[in-house]
Amino acid sequence: MATIKALIKRHPVLAYFVLTFTISWSGILLIIGGPGTIPGTSEQVERLSLFVMLAWFAGPSIAGVLLTGLVDGKAGLRELLSRLLRWQVDAHWYAVALLTAPLLFMAALLPLSLLSPEFLPGIFTTSDKASLLLFGIAYGLIGGGLLEELGWTGFAVRRLRLRYGTLTTALIVGVLWGAYHFSVIFWMSGSTIGGIPLALFLTVRGIDLLVGQLTAYRVLMVRVYDRTGGSLLVAILMHASLSASMLILGPLALAGALFLTYIFVSSAAAWLVVAAVAVANRGQVSRQPLRRRLA
């Protein structure tokens, strides 16, 4: 145990990624009955989705809190709590955190909806708008926000920023954050494959998860985290906004080529925003590592 603890302290971020994937992926596979059940049927998804999501969220939250205590002790846990409660930041950063995602989705979906009404945002077409709003907001705050960002921002981003600049940190976390979504998204993808061959669908979807919207959005998240003095609360709200927007604004019944078109355009919109931020900051979206800045 002493050897394992020493190894974790030497490579804490690597330990976080390994532990997160191990908890989430193995938990999901145990619940769904192994990789042979991917993609799941509509009946399986409906019956098991709650348990799958609990296992999925367990990875980053447990890994983040556990490794914070193991590596930094009680002082680290107190510091994590202080960042979680760090709310006194400029008001415009709250606007950025809460509005970036819905504006991105609307910028992608409204032009597409001119081509086909199937691209209309879900909140426009659902017959139960109140339930969709409440579920989307609750899911975003508790699942996508709090339970994920305790690890991704609370542990991984904080430590990577000591060694790397903003952009490098965001790309590392963004790619692995996308990869973390593989298991649950592929398991739930049965209704979105349409007439596309499974191998082609999973390949395109996998590429998008690694270098698409999530990675671009993580670049923006790390930038906001930097400029709010390391506020974990604002990072949670920004992630919550993304998760809620996916559920509230995402079209309700896209499949096949239409679904992949929606994914591609959403990713392109996110990267265009990253590019716009870089241009507005004279080609810079990155700050140097914190240790260098403090030296």
pLDDT at 292: 60
Nearest one of 169, 153, 177 to 291, comparing CA atoms: 169
Neighbouring CB atoms inside 10 A of 109's CB total 22
CA dihedral 263, 264, 267, 272 (to 10 degrees): -150
Residue at 12: amino acid letter: P
**The predicted structure's pLDDT at residue 36:** 87
Q: Which two tokens stand for residue 164?
A: 């790397």
The pLDDT value recorded for residue 189 is 87
pLDDT per residue of the chain (295 residues) written in tens, 0 to 9: 678 889 999 999 999 999 999 999 999 999 999 988 888 888 999 999 999 999 999 999 999 999 999 999 999 999 999 999 999 999 999 999 999 999 999 999 999 999 999 999 999 999 999 999 999 999 999 998 999 999 999 999 999 999 999 999 999 999 999 999 998 998 998 888 888 888 888 889 999 999 999 999 999 999 999 999 999 999 999 999 999 999 999 999 899 999 999 999 999 999 999 999 999 887 677 677 876 654 4
> Phi/psi zone of residue 90: left (φ > 0), alpha (ψ -120 to 50 degrees), beta?
beta
Look at the pTM and tell me if it is higher than 0.75. yes
**Measured CA angle at 208 (ends 278, 56), to 5 deg:** 105
Closest C-alpha among 283, 285, 267 to residue 214: 267
Chain centroid to CA 8: 24
Torsion-angle region of 34 (φ positive above 0: left; ψ -120 to 50: alpha; else: beta): left
pLDDT, residue 293, reads 56
d(CA 191, CA 40): 9
Q: How far apart are CA 197 and CA 192, in angstroms?
A: 11
pLDDT the model gives residue 15: 97
